Every structure is written in structure tokens, then in C-alpha cells.
Amino acid sequence: MAFTLRSPAFSDGAEIPIVYTCEGEDVSPPLIWEDPPEGTRSFALIVDDPDAPDPKAPRLTWVHWVVYDIPAAARALPEGASGKAMPEEAKEGLNDWKRVGYGGPCPPIGRHRYFHKLYALDLSLPDLGAVTKARLLAAMEGHVLGRAELVGTYRKKRR
């Protein structure tokens, strides 16, 4: 079977419920994964939006969540895991709001895509502190056994 990532809150390609956005409770969505590659020692998660600031003229990829050292035995993160219900060993990095933890979808214009990328790694990373996406990707280089992806979309309801 293939390494897969899904959420009981939304399907791949579907809209992310408002509760997980800046217009709702801004809590991290529940995530579930299956069949990681053999030899997985830990997982890392990056959630980002390549459509910022405007999907018709994207200029940057906005980082919403960085997590690493999720234990190899883990197969899920519950709703609201960020800051509260993370596995003991897991560590959260900096998002592009310069805060540690999850920052939900909050697109300034249009419908954006949010890529939830889960990486299976062949090692447990050392404590990198409040790491950025770029630093985490550099630390993971040469250690990725597999990647699973879930994409959700969101467009603000209130203007």
C-alpha cells in the first residue's frame, strides 16, 4: 500500500472547514496517515500555501505550520494538536507569522490551496528549536523515505 495522508475534516481537494481558519477557531485540523515506508524513524509536517497573496498572481509560498520529530509510531494528530495535544517528542517550528505552531488559512483574496505535506524520515532530528521551513528542509535532506500529501482549499467568507 502507498503512504497516505488524510483528514476526517475534509477530503483531498475539498474546502477546509472554517473552524480551522482565521475566521473560525484557528485550530489545527485532525490528520491521519497510513503505511509509512519501512525504516521510518520519525515524521515531519509542513503546511503551506503557494498561492499567496493572490492565486491569480502568486508571489510566495506562505508557511502555516512546521512540525518535526513526530514519533515513528504515531499515525495521527488530533484536532487542535498544535500547542496542546502534540506527541511528547514532537516539536513545532515557526510559521510565516513568526509564531511557533499552527496558523490557519487566512487568504487576503481568492481561493487558496493549502498543502499538508507529511515526510517519513530515516532518523529523528536533533532539537532545531523554533525552526523555519527552509531550515527543516535542509536538515531533512537525504533522509526522506517518503512523502504523503493532502490539499485543502479556502476562500474567506467574510469581507
The pLDDT tens digits for 33-59 are 999 999 999 999 999 999 999 999 999
Cell numbers for 111, please give them: 481561493
pLDDT classification of 159: cutoffs 50, 70, 90: low
Using the predicted structure, report yes or no on whether residue 158 has a pLDDT greater than 80.
no
pTM over 0.85? The answer is: yes
What are the strands, taking DSSP E only, across 23-143? 31-34, 42-52, 60-71, 76-77, 91-92, 112-121
Q: Would you state the pLDDT for residue 53? A: 94
Cell numbers for 55, please give them: 492565486
Helix (H) or strand (E) holding 90: none
Q: Would you state the pLDDT for residue 41? A: 98
Domains and CATH numbers, the chain: 4-154 (3.90.280.10)
- Mean pLDDT of the 62-72 span: 98
Q: What is the DSSP letter of 126?
A: P
